[in-house]
Structure 1
Amino acid sequence: MSWRRALKDTARSGIAVERKRLEPLIAVRGAAGLAIVIALSLWLFGPAAAASSAFGAFQAAIATFQRSWRPRPELAIASGTSLAVSTFLGYLTISKEPLFLALLVVWTFAAGMSWAAGPTIGLIASSNVAIMLVTVTLPTSVAQAAGHAAMMIVGGLVQAALIILFPVRRWGAHRDALADALAAEADYARRLRHEPVASFDPQPLMEARNAAAVTPRQARRRPAELHGARGIAERIRPVLASLADPAMGVPAEGPARDRVRELLASAAALLDAAAHAIRHGEPVSAPPAALATFRTPDTGSILTGAPYRAMTRLNTLLQDVVETAGGTPQEDTPQEDTPQEDTPQEGAPQEGAPKGRGELRDQPQPTRTRRKTAPHHPPRRRPTFLALIPKALKAMRSELHRGSPITRHATRVSAVAATGYILGTWLPLGHGYWAPLTSVMVMRPDFSQTYSRAVARLAGTVIGVAVATGVVQAATPGTLQSGTLAVASAALMYLLMRTGQFATQACIAAYVVFLLGMGGEEWTQTVPERVLLTLMGGLLAMLAYAVYPAWETPRLRTRLADWLAAQGPYVAAVFGSYADPSTSSAPDVRGALLTARTARAAWHAAVARATAEPVRHRGLSRTAADDAEDALAQLGRVAMLLEAHLPERGAPPVPPAARFADALRESTRKGAKAIRERRVPTWDAVREALDAWETENPENADKVVRNTATLVLDTLTELSEALDTAVPPMTLDGTAPEKPDGPRNPKDSATR
């Protein structure tokens, strides 16, 4: 992408206003906390302290709007307290410019590194540095600085108290995450009716898993309908894919396919009903027609073998998720992500169990084992806020190296903040902190966010300042009226925060004008210089990224290699489960799957960032990246089909699967290394293991497992073919080496 197009796209993104669900009650609560703090500060200390404390309450409320599964009161207190510390330290050094400049560099570098611990912590730290540049100019003595810092802490405490006293949609984010996961599976079931090999994006399941980790205080208060449903949803996905895929036994057309379409439509309806109930905290209203589909007596005569086992398993899982969504937690559903030994695997034949709870009683049941009632397992634990500090420091330390994008961002933002502060104080404009404030607020570790936020900041500042200036000129408000207008601007900002940066920045600009007006500053003292210095700060931020970038495009090969290195062990673990069913390998499969999902998410995030960058590809074209992504996604889907029918203990082993799993694990490790070195991976060891599988007792081999192994090799071959079209690396003499012909095998390609 050219620089011209990249700038055009980021500018359009910055000024875009998205349609999002507004939350007026939360906005009113945040504005009420701000109003309480301003009124209390005006009454006790006067306008200057009120303006300073208002920043604390304002920032504390913003922190609670960030996407975090942690209790909101903790975020408000942490934000207010950290801002108070920053302000007090800044005031102690502001009289000595070199010392303050050194503090600004160190503080900004630490704030830049804090993005390694997550976007919420990174945003709070960056905002603290930006607001500190304003608040250190308000006190006139150390005692006043201490008082202002104390009032900032009070602002955070007030916002935290309001969250506790007046909760709005308690557990709303957690409910939405789980409901989104179930709704995504409902959509997947509908797509499978018309596209039996449709792909599934596991991101909603990953979000639900993140939401399932709770602090000890949250664990004591979590609603019953948030227990267990996510674990059931995880097991539904492979069963849906197994039921629909023609490779598992259901023909592409005919009575069996028609029945599968009916079952998938009913499953989608039940999953949607469960998602709606969880999202709104209501009882589940299951559609009678969807329930009746699973009672059809002739299903057992139409579906046989693996499809019938998948249908039976799907029926049981749907009953479980409906009961759990209705507020009845299942004691036999583990609360941990790792399946317990007593928990049956997906679709595995189970002997002696009672018939399904009312849905398939009239048709023949496969033999099943009675599900043992497992003891209550504790939920996944999220560390407390204090315990999070060493984890955050460890994450920052792990990113503290030369090639890290986070380190480059921290270096970039600290240099720009210092440069902006020096230029702002040198220029005869006054209020020179606006330039570094703007730079710190708009700079992010990636290109697109930095440039789009810079455009949004400038455009929003112009609009917000113009509107606020017009109001001030027309109404000439006093101290109380200016405070009221500031609170109204903050309330509008809280309401529109999720609609985009343009609206947010416009409201912030108006808020600052009214707030400083409450402190006695005329609009003519702040407006012109604010616009000019905001423009300078935004330009410095954009120039810094162009001069010292952290492009994602050159790292795409590494991200792709990481995904392959994580996907290989997952597929190998699934095959290993068939090689030796006597040992429970379900925890290994689950752990490998989570690792593969994380690598997949990192790849997609990298591709999204690279798409917006004005950088040409280096060794991996867009077409090659798309084809390689499709191949790796297909590899995961093939393994998911086998995962839906993991064998139970005592099932006949498939010894060739062990050799195939070992070859696959080693070959994907070497293949990932080859991708990083810009070579095309080969799969000779996997092909040899598959050939040996064909020659060793083929009549006793599990045909489903053997056919899936063939699909695995085919997808790996497609991956090599996709990378074989990439731009070859240059040799030392500047010529391109010949393409290796190893991975291409017409015989293997013809099997797809």
Structure 2
Amino acid sequence: MSWLRALKETARSGLTVERRRLEPAVAARGALGLALVVGLSLALFGPAVAVSSAFGAFQAAIATFQRSWRPRPTLALASGASLAVSTFLGYLTGAHEALFLALLLFWTFLAGLAWAAGPTVGVIASSNVAIMLVTVTLPTSVAGAAGQAGMIFAGGVVQAALVVVLPIRRWGAQRDALADALADEADYARRLRHDPVAPFDPVPLMTARSAAAVTPRQARRRPAELHGARGLAERIRPVLASLADPAVGVPEEGSERARVRELLGAAAEVLDAAAHAIRHGEPVTLPPSALAALRTPATGPALKGPSRRAAGRLAALLGDVIETAEPRTETSGRDVSAARTRPTLLQLAPRVLTQVRAELRPDSPVLRHAVRVSAVTAAGYLLGTWLPFGHGYWAPMASVMVMRPDFSQTYARSVARFGGTLVGVALATAVVQSAHPGTYLSAALAVVCAFGMYLLMWTGYVAGQACVSAYVVFLLGTAGAGLTQTVRERVLLTLLGGVLAMLAYAAYPAWETPRLRGRLADWLASGGAYAAVVAGRYADPVGPTSPDVREALLKARAARVAWQEAVARATHEPVRHRGLSHAAVEQAGHALAEFGRVAMLLEAHLPERGTPPVPAAAALAESLRRSTERGAKEVRERREPHWDDLRETVTDWSARPPGHFLLDKGAALLLECLDELTTALMESKRSP
């Protein structure tokens, strides 16, 4: 993609406003906390303290809106505490420009590295730097700085207390994640009716798995309907695929296929009903037609062999889903011991340090982001100070808030921030300079703008940024700061910060495109390990709930999602493919997705414990492991991958079948998928 087209695409993305479900009650709660903090601070301590405490309450509320499965009060407290520390250190060094610049460089570098711990931590850390740049311009003493830092933390405490006192849709994020996973499986079942080999996106199931991890305190309070349904959804997916696939089931046409379509439609209705019940905490309401379809017909076509077993297993799993999805007032006692545990914030610290340490390498996108954002923020601070506009913090504040570890987000947010700032600052400055609102009216207008920010946060960055820019203008107007600065000066400084961010990424990039081969190799290796473990369980049957199969599946899913995210980031990069063309990316992704689907079909029919083993399956498992490990190495080294071990096994089985038709067909299908991968890579290598 050319630079011109990349800039056009990212600009369009940044200025897009999406239609999303708004949550006015949650936004009103955040605005109420901000109003309480600002009102009390104004009445007791004056405008300067009110501004500092307002920033604490404002950011703490934003932290509770982040896509995190941790308790919202914990996020608010962590945000308030980290901002208080940042602001206090900024106050201590603010009178000495060289010392403050050194702190800014160090603090921004740490904020950039914080993205290694995830987007929630990265957003909070970046906001700390941005708000520190604003608050340190308010004059105060060291004792006053400590007091203002305390008030900032108090703002976080107020927001955390409101989340506890005024709960809105408890466990709403976890309910939505689980309901989305079930609804996605319902959609999958419907697609299988028309396309027996339809692909399945594992992201909703992975999101639900992440949401299911809880702290011990959360486990004691988790609703019973949120426990167990995710595991059932995981087990239903391969059964649906096995029931629909003609390779291991019924023919593509005929009376048996009509029965399979009927079962898939009924499964979709049941899963949708369970998703609705979990999302809203209501009893499950099942359509009678779906229940009738799931019963074995007394007359008409009857399924046989693997399809019959899959149909019976599907009916049993759907019955378990219905029972699990029923809301109950009591929680299961096993929740505390059997729940997936999430570390507390104190337990998380060593893990974050380990993640950050792992990113301290020259080719790390996170390290490059940390270097870029610290250099750009310092440069923006110096330029803003030297320019004759006053209040030069608008430039570095814009830079630190728009910069992200990847190209598309940085450029899209830069354009969106400029557009949003232009609208927000223009309107707010016009109100300030025409109406001359007093202290309390300026504070009230700031709270209104904050409510707009909370309400429109997920509709698009440009909409939220317009509200944030107006919020900053009105809030600083509360303390009488920034009243002499014009719209032109604020917008020009914001434009300067955005341009610096964009130039920095162009000069010191972290392109995803050259790393696509490595991501593909990772997916190949993990997918091959998953298929090998599944095949090995035919030689050593332990039942369909084998832990090693589950662990291998999760690793394969994580590698697939990493590949998909890398492809999405690389799509808008102005970089040549360097070894993988766009066509090869699509074809290779399809080949490995089909490889995983075949392995999943084998998993759907894993033999029960005590079933006679299939000794030939051990040879298939070993050949799969060797072939995919060597193939992954060859993909990384840009050589043609070969699958000699697996091909030899398939050739031997063509003369002497293993006695299990699933393994016989499965091995051939797996080899076919790997050959398709080779074709995609070689065509990409031959293309200019």
User: TM-score normalized by structure 2?
Assistant: 0.98
Matched, 1:671 2:643: no
Distance 1:64 1:328, change over 3 A: closer
Partner in structure 2 of residue 321 of structure 1: 321
Partner in structure 2 of residue 146 of structure 1: 146
Question: What is the CA–CA distance in structure 1 between the aligned matches of 2:69 and 2:595, rounded to whole Å?
Answer: 32
Question: What is the CA–CA distance in structure 1 between the aligned matches of 2:430 and 2:463, rounded to whole Å?
Answer: 18
Partner in structure 2 of residue 276 of structure 1: 276
Partner in structure 1 of residue 479 of structure 2: 519
Partner in structure 2 of residue 723 of structure 1: 681
Are the aligned partners of 2:223 and 2:328 in contact in 1 as well (CA < 8 Å)? no
Question: What is the CA–CA distance in structure 1 between the aligned matches of 2:258 and 2:544, rounded to whole Å?
Answer: 36
Q: What per-residue deviation string (whole Å, max 9, x for no partner) do you get for residues 549-590 of structure 1?
A: 000011111110111011000000110010121588811110
Question: What is the CA–CA distance in structure 2 between the aligned matches of 1:516 and 1:595, rounded to whole Å?
Answer: 49
SS at match of 2:197: coil
Q: What is the alpha-carbon root mean square deviation over aligned residues?
A: 1.8
Question: What is the CA–CA distance in structure 1 between the aligned matches of 2:331 and 2:416, rounded to whole Å?
Answer: 51
Pick one of 516, 523, 527 that aligns with 1:567. Answer: 527
Amino acid at match of 2:30: G
Partner in structure 2 of residue 533 of structure 1: 493
Are the aligned partners of 1:642 and 1:705 in contact in 2 as well (CA < 8 Å)? yes
Partner in structure 1 of residue 573 of structure 2: 613
Question: What is the CA–CA distance in structure 2 between the aligned matches of 1:655 and 1:30, rounded to whole Å?
Answer: 62
Question: What is the CA–CA distance in structure 2 between the aligned matches of 1:553 and 1:531, rounded to whole Å?
Answer: 34
Question: What is the CA–CA distance in structure 2 between the aligned matches of 1:593 and 1:404, rounded to whole Å?
Answer: 26
Question: What is the CA–CA distance in structure 1 between the aligned matches of 2:466 and 2:154, rounded to whole Å?
Answer: 27
Partner in structure 2 of residue 586 of structure 1: 546
Q: What per-residue deviation string (whole Å, max 9, x for no partner) do you get for residues 632-667 of structure 1?
A: 000000011111111012212111111111111111
Task: Measure how far apart 1:296 and its partner are.
Answer: 4.0
Distance 1:267 1:329, change over 3 A: farther
Partner in structure 2 of residue 709 of structure 1: 667
Task: Measure how far apart 1:137 and its partner are.
Answer: 1.5
Q: What per-residue deviation string (whole Å, max 9, x for no partner) do you get for residues 258-296 of structure 1?
A: 011111111100000000000000000011110011224
Q: What per-residue deviation string (whole Å, max 9, x for no partner) do you get for residues 333-378 of structure 1?
A: 997xxxxxxxxxxxxxxxxxxxxxxxxxxxxxxxxxxxxxxxx951
Pick one of 487, 491, 494 that aligns with 2:454. Answer: 494
Correspondence list, 1:224-243, <5 A: 224-243=224-243
Are the aligned partners of 1:56 and 1:153 in contact in 2 as well (CA < 8 Å)? yes
Distance 1:614 1:501, change over 3 A: same
Are the aligned partners of 2:535 and 2:618 in contact in 1 as well (CA < 8 Å)? yes
Task: Measure how far apart 1:92 and its partner are.
Answer: 0.8
Partner in structure 1 of residue 14 of structure 2: 14
User: Bigger CA drift: 508-517 or 579-588?
Assistant: 579-588
Question: What is the CA–CA distance in structure 1 between the aligned matches of 2:445 and 2:368, rounded to whole Å?
Answer: 40
Question: What is the CA–CA distance in structure 2 between the aligned matches of 1:331 and 1:248, rounded to whole Å?
Answer: 40
Question: What is the CA–CA distance in structure 2 between the aligned matches of 1:330 and 1:722, rounded to whole Å?
Answer: 54
Matched, 1:3 2:3: yes
Task: Measure how far apart 1:331 and its partner are.
Answer: 12
Between the two proteins, the alignment pairs up a number of residues equal to: 688
Question: What is the CA–CA distance in structure 2 between the aligned matches of 1:474 and 1:284, rounded to whole Å?
Answer: 57
Are the aligned partners of 2:259 and 2:301 in contact in 1 as well (CA < 8 Å)? no
Distance 1:585 1:466, change over 3 A: closer
Q: What per-residue deviation string (whole Å, max 9, x for no partner) do you get for residues 589-612 of structure 1?
A: 100000000000000000000001
Question: What is the CA–CA distance in structure 2 between the aligned matches of 1:728 and 1:546, rounded to whole Å?
Answer: 29
User: TM-score normalized by structure 1?
Assistant: 0.89
Distance 1:301 1:253, change over 3 A: closer
SS at match of 2:685: coil
Q: What per-residue deviation string (whole Å, max 9, x for no partner) do you get for residues 694-752 of structure 1?
A: 444x3x611121111111111111111111101359xxxxxx9xxxxxxxxxxxxxxxx
Correspondence list, 1:457-472, <5 A: 457-472=417-432
SS at match of 1:523: coil
Amino acid at match of 1:714: E
Higher helix share: 2
Are the aligned partners of 1:225 and 1:329 in contact in 2 as well (CA < 8 Å)? no
Are the aligned partners of 1:320 and 1:330 in contact in 2 as well (CA < 8 Å)? no
Are the aligned partners of 2:543 and 2:608 in contact in 1 as well (CA < 8 Å)? no
Correspondence list, 1:235-634, <5 A: 235-298=235-298, 302-327=302-327, 378-521=338-481, 523-525=483-485, 527-581=487-541, 586-634=546-594
Correspondence list, 1:34-113, <5 A: 34-113=34-113
Are the aligned partners of 1:579 and 1:655 in contact in 2 as well (CA < 8 Å)? yes
Task: Measure how far apart 1:98 and its partner are.
Answer: 1.3
Task: Measure how far apart 1:547 and its partner are.
Answer: 0.3
User: Bigger CA drift: 718-727 or 21-30?
Assistant: 718-727
Correspondence list, 1:628-647, <5 A: 628-647=588-607
Amino acid at match of 1:604: Q
Task: Measure how far apart 1:474 and its partner are.
Answer: 3.6
**Post-superposition, which runs of at least 4 consecutive aligned residues in structure 1 deviate over 4 A?**
328-335, 582-585
Amino acid at match of 1:634: E
Partner in structure 1 of residue 200 of structure 2: 200
Amino acid at match of 2:178: L
SS at match of 2:683: coil
Task: Measure how far apart 1:421 and its partner are.
Answer: 1.1
Task: Measure how far apart 1:423 and its partner are.
Answer: 1.2
Are the aligned partners of 1:130 and 1:437 in contact in 2 as well (CA < 8 Å)? yes
Question: What is the CA–CA distance in structure 2 between the aligned matches of 1:255 and 1:333, rounded to whole Å?
Answer: 47
User: Bigger CA drift: 425-434 or 519-528?
Assistant: 519-528
Partner in structure 1 of residue 217 of structure 2: 217
Amino acid at match of 1:708: G
Unaligned runs of 5+ in 1: 336-375, 730-735, 737-752
Amino acid at match of 1:528: R
Question: What is the CA–CA distance in structure 2 between the aligned matches of 1:114 and 1:299, rounded to whole Å?
Answer: 63
Matched, 1:651 2:611: yes
Are the aligned partners of 1:228 and 1:329 in contact in 2 as well (CA < 8 Å)? no
Question: What is the CA–CA distance in structure 2 between the aligned matches of 1:440 and 1:674, rounded to whole Å?
Answer: 40
Task: Measure how far apart 1:484 and its partner are.
Answer: 0.3
Question: What is the CA–CA distance in structure 2 between the aligned matches of 1:333 and 1:324, rounded to whole Å?
Answer: 15
Amino acid at match of 2:473: V
Distance 1:377 1:515, change over 3 A: closer
SS at match of 1:200: coil
Are the aligned partners of 1:228 and 1:334 in contact in 2 as well (CA < 8 Å)? no
Amino acid at match of 1:491: F
Q: What per-residue deviation string (whole Å, max 9, x for no partner) do you get for residues 173-229 of structure 1?
A: 000000000000000010111111111101100000000000111101100100100
Amino acid at match of 2:648: E
Question: What is the CA–CA distance in structure 1 between the aligned matches of 2:544 and 2:320, rounded to whole Å?
Answer: 23
Amino acid at match of 1:41: S
Partner in structure 2 of residue 358 of structure 1: none
Are the aligned partners of 1:619 and 1:728 in contact in 2 as well (CA < 8 Å)? no
Question: What is the CA–CA distance in structure 1 between the aligned matches of 2:545 and 2:164, rounded to whole Å?
Answer: 44
Distance 1:641 1:183, change over 3 A: same
SS at match of 2:12: helix
Are the aligned partners of 1:575 and 1:661 in contact in 2 as well (CA < 8 Å)? yes
Are the aligned partners of 1:246 and 1:252 in contact in 2 as well (CA < 8 Å)? yes
Task: Measure how far apart 1:329 and its partner are.
Answer: 11
Distance 1:526 1:140, change over 3 A: farther
Unaligned runs of 5+ in 2: none
SS at match of 1:78: helix
Identity %: 68
Are the aligned partners of 1:431 and 1:529 in contact in 2 as well (CA < 8 Å)? no
